[in-house]
């Protein structure tokens, strides 16, 4: 398409994924001059290119300097590393921000942003916060790194935007300032993006609070001493959540109840056994969500009911169905070792047949899984690129396992290996890109193969 305009006032959108297209829509709606660069056009993004054509937005299908003389600012999609050679070129010619920052800079007034980051538990916590707010009568939306870019909601009717924020998005913030920020936990993940430095990853996660002031609320995992110490350098008021022994303001468990405490007063919210979400880690997610929403609670009764009713989210310990007394659970969103460790503790008293493995780009250390596998697993079904590195660990500990080459084979083998009362759990501890486009596609394939086994109950 031809280049139009001669003034250097344009915005260059880099990457035509979901976030890039949303940023382009926002720019067009705000009557900005906008251009898009995407390194190639293919079947998966063809529909997005067609929308650009309908909007009259110039684009290129190679990453060149063609639009550089026309632009003052670039908006980067989060999946593109800031360290890439092309992005280094861009930064020499114009200011660079991410889609999250771009949306925030153009946000309509009057919205409350609750931002959630962390290694695990983000999506569940985001959806739960939304449900709790809606239970109080507010309008709210879950946005951000869950596939619903903030740019698509910058001028919507919602009073609250509950935003999942990844470390990739936090790399490119400048002024992003949520009213409330939640950090669920920080454990090693995506270290391939951070030169194998946990310290760099940790500091990037903490950027969620760097622009907040004393009017803001920072909600932290109270069991992470390093996180608490690091957060003391930031301005917002700190509130904690932890399963037991909480002395500060925040949410904890006391005598079987989820309780919120502020000063010397403690308020019972819900009996733990009435929480539908399984597992210790989901209890932590519930504590985090309650801590985040407490300033906005109008009715404690409705808060308790919303918390009890929340069923969880797709691909995160999602109970698919039961066949012949065997429960199938989809935890495809378990893309790192810590997430799978938590999944393996979510079903006390039950033996698990674990479908494990996936993309090996992160070169994760799988050895922390072995003690829990020995304790909780009847057998392991290996699938994906990680198989050659995981198999020797299992062999050394004499753990029964089989290698498979497809999801169908993995599900079939898992079904044959499991006994009545046991669980077939897909929790890969790895990304999906060796066989799938994303964890959602992997989870859907798992469920499809399960449904092919027989009648579900």
Checking if the pLDDT of 314 tops 60, the result is yes
The confidence score (pLDDT) of residue 11 equals: 98
Length of the chain: 457
Pair 146, 90 in one domain: no
Collect all residues with Cβ–Cβ distance below 8 Å to 315 and sequence separation of at least 6.
330, 331, 332, 333, 439, 440, 443
Domain membership flag for residue 456: no
Strands (E), 272-428: 318-323, 326-330, 352-356, 377-383, 401-404, 423-426
- What's the rounded Cα separation, in Å, for the pair 197 and 334? 21
Collect all residues with Cβ–Cβ distance below 8 Å to 211 and sequence separation of at least 6.
173, 175, 176, 177
Where is the domain boundary, 71, 98, 125?
A: 98
- What's the rounded Cα separation, in Å, for the pair 26 and 155? 9
Checking if the pLDDT of 265 tops 90, the result is no
What is the mean pLDDT of the segment spanning 16-23? 96
Pair 67, 134 in one domain: no
**pLDDT tens digits, residue range 374-427?**
999 999 999 999 999 999 999 999 999 999 999 999 999 999 999 999 999 999
**pLDDT tens digits, residue range 329-372?**
999 999 999 999 999 998 989 999 999 999 999 899 999 999 99
Of 20-24, 88-92, 175-179, 276-280, the least confident: 276-280
Which three-class secondary structure state does DSSP give residue 298? Answer: coil
12 has which bridge partners? 35, 74
**pLDDT tens digits, residue range 129-149?**
999 999 999 999 999 999 899
When comparing pLDDT for 381 and 457, which is higher? Answer: 381
Where is the domain boundary, 66, 98, 130?
A: 98
The confidence score (pLDDT) of residue 214 equals: 93
The confidence score (pLDDT) of residue 6 equals: 52
Pair 334, 290 in one domain: no
Domain range for 18 is 10-98
CATH number at residue 16: 3.40.50.720
Where is the domain boundary, 98, 120, 153?
A: 98
The confidence score (pLDDT) of residue 176 equals: 98
Checking if the pLDDT of 2 tops 50, the result is no
Domain membership flag for residue 457: no
What is the mean pLDDT of the segment spanning 186-212? 86
Domains identified in the chain, total number: 3
When comparing pLDDT for 454 and 285, which is higher? Answer: 285
116 has which bridge partners? 164, 182
**pLDDT tens digits, residue range 28-39?**
999 999 999 999
Checking if the pLDDT of 60 tops 90, the result is yes
Domain membership flag for residue 60: yes
CATH number at residue 218: 3.40.1190.10
Domain membership flag for residue 1: no
Checking if the pLDDT of 61 tops 70, the result is yes
Contact criterion met (CB below 8 Å) for 137 and 315: no
**pLDDT tens digits, residue range 101-127?**
999 999 999 999 999 999 888 999 999
Pair 143, 231 in one domain: yes
Residue 298 CB coordination number (10 Å) = 11
CA end-to-end span of the chain: 54
Of 11-20, 151-160, 181-190, 387-396, the least confident: 181-190
Pair 268, 403 in one domain: no
Burial of 356 (0-12, 13-18, 19+ CB in 10 A): buried
- Structure tokens given for 275: 């929480």
Inter-CA distances, 355 with 24, 265, 298, 343, Å:
40, 45, 43, 12
**pLDDT tens digits, residue range 161-178?**
999 999 999 999 999 999
Domain membership flag for residue 5: no
Contact criterion met (CB below 8 Å) for 352 and 401: no
- What's the rounded Cα separation, in Å, for the pair 159 and 456? 40
Sign for the pseudo-dihedral over CA of 101, 103, 109, 113: negative
Domain membership flag for residue 14: yes
Phi/psi for 380 (5° steps) reads -130, 135
Pair 112, 174 in one domain: yes
- Structure tokens given for 325: 């007394």
Pair 120, 246 in one domain: yes
Checking if the pLDDT of 188 tops 80, the result is no
329 has which bridge partners? 319, 425
Pair 329, 284 in one domain: no
Phi/psi for 243 (5° steps) reads -70, -30
CATH number at residue 428: 3.90.190.20
Pair 379, 438 in one domain: yes
Which three-class secondary structure state does DSSP give residue 80? Answer: coil
For the chain, the average pLDDT equals: 94
Domain membership flag for residue 3: no
Pair 261, 133 in one domain: yes
Contact criterion met (CB below 8 Å) for 141 and 156: yes
Pair 142, 227 in one domain: yes
Alpha carbon dihedral 129, 134, 138, 139, in 10-degree steps, equals 90
The confidence score (pLDDT) of residue 457 equals: 65
| HSE value, Cβ hemisphere, 13 Å, CA-based, for 434 | 18
Collect all residues with Cβ–Cβ distance below 8 Å to 330 and sequence separation of at least 6.
314, 315, 317, 318, 320, 426, 443, 446, 447
Domain membership flag for residue 154: yes
When comparing pLDDT for 68 and 232, which is higher? Answer: 68
The confidence score (pLDDT) of residue 89 equals: 96
With a pLDDT cut of 90, the percent of the chain lying above it is 85
Pair 122, 192 in one domain: yes
- What's the rounded Cα separation, in Å, for the pair 268 and 251? 10
């Amino acid at each position: 398409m031809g280049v139009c305009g001669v003034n250097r006032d344009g915005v260059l959108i880099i990457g035509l994924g979901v976030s890039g297209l949303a940023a382009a829509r926002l720019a067009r709606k705000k009557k900005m001059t906008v251009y898009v660069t995407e390194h190639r056009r293919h079947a998966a993004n063809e529909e997005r290119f067609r929308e650009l054509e309908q909007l009259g937005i110039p684009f290129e299908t190679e990453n060149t300097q063609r639009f550089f003389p026309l632009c003052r600012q670039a908006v980067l999609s989060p999946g593109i590393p800031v360290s890439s050679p092309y992005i280094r070129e861009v930064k020499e010619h114009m200011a660079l921000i991410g889609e999250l920052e771009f949306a925030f800079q153009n946000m309509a007034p009057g919205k409350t942003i609750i931002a959630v980051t962390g290694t695990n538990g983000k999506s569940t916590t985001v959806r739960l916060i939304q449900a709790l707010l809606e239970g109080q009568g507010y309008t709210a939306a879950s946005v951000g790194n869950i596939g619903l870019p903030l740019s698509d909601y910058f001028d919507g009717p919602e009073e609250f935007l509950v935003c999942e924020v990844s470390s990739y998005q936090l790399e490119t913030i400048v002024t992003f300032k949520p009213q409330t920020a939640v950090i669920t936990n920080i454990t090693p993940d995506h270290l391939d993006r951070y030169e194998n430095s946990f310290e760099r990853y940790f500091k990037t996660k903490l950027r969620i609070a760097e622009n907040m002031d004393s009017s803001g609320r920072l909600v932290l995992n109270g069991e992470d001493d390093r996180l608490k110490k690091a957060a003391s350098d930031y301005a917002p008021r700190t509130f904690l959540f932890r399963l037991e022994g909480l002395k500060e303001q925040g949410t904890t468990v006391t005598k079987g109840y989820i309780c919120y405490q502020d000063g010397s007063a403690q308020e019972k919210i819900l009996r733990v056994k009435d929480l539908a979400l399984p597992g210790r880690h989901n209890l932590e997610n519930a504590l985090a969500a309650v801590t985040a929403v407490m300033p906005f609670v109008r009715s404690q009764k409705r808060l308790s009911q919303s918390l009890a009713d929340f069923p969880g989210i797709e691909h995160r310990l999602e109970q698919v169905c039961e066949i012949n007394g065997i429960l199938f659970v989809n935890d495809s969103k378990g893309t790192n070792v810590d997430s799978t460790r938590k999944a393996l503790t979510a079903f006390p008293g039950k033996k698990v047949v674990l479908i494990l493995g996936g993309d090996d780009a992160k070169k994760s250390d799988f050895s922390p899984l072995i003690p829990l596998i020995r304790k909780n697993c009847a057998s392991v079904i290996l699938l994906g690129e990680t198989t050659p590195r995981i198999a020797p660990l299992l062999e050394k500990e004499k753990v029964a396992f089989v290698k498979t080459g497809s999801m169908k084979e993995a599900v079939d083998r898992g079904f044959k290996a499991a006994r009545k009362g046991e669980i077939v759990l897909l929790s890969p501890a790895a990304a999906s890109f060796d066989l799938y486009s994303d964890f959602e596609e992997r989870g859907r394939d798992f469920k499809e193969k399960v449904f092919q086994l027989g009648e579900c109950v």
